[in-house]
Amino acid sequence: MAKHHVTTTLNGSPVEYLCEPHHTLLDVLRDDLNLTGTKEGCGSGDCGACSVMLDGRLVCACLTFAAECNGRTIETIEGMANGTKLHPLQQKFLEHAALQCGICTPGMLISAKALLEKKPDPTEEEVRYWLAGNLCRCTGYNKIVEAVLDAAAELRRA
């Protein structure tokens, strides 16, 4: 079977790739486009480490066929900072020690950003339920939730 030719907007730039029909967006990001910031923790949508934005919606890259993305907009962790300026969430994760091993961090950040875009002033409970699809085994979630709430406050002030 011939490969699919897919044209996307990836982190703001036009990006084309060829993919096998059964390959996922995660496969293509990591293995073909060398964007390894999107992590594979489970490959079944249960851990959220591969969270990306697809046409402005939070999805798991492992549960998306690469071939589906033709004409679509993809945002990954590599596009989160504005050039050399970290996104407030990235900065707050650092300041709050909200990462230990850091493997869940890219997915957490993408997921948290999606939350704050919809809900600039979430409660702790709303943060916890929104992030329920992003597993972290190191932090017990305390400092992640604190960092998200603090980043939300900062974004509201901005």
Which residue lies nearer to another protein by CB, 9 or 128?
128
Write out the binding residues for another protein, residues 104-123 only, by CB under 8 A. Answer: 104-106, 109, 111, 114-115, 118
Work out whether 42 is an interface residue with another protein (CB under 8 A): yes
Nearer to another protein, 145 or 152 (CB): 145
The 3 state secondary structure assigned to the chain is: CCCEEEEEEECCEEEEEEECCCCEHHHHHHHHCCCCCCCCCCCCCCCCCCEEEECCEEEEHHHCEHHHHCCCEEECHHHCCECCECCHHHHHHHHCCCCCCCCCHHHHHHHHHHHHHHCCCCCHHHHHHHHHHCCCCCCCCHHHHHHHHHHHHHHHHC
| Residue 1 lies near another protein (rule: CB under 8 A) | yes
> Residue 34 or 157: which CB sits closer to another protein?
34
CB of 157 to another protein, least distance (A): 21
Interface with another protein, residue 83, by CB under 8 A: no
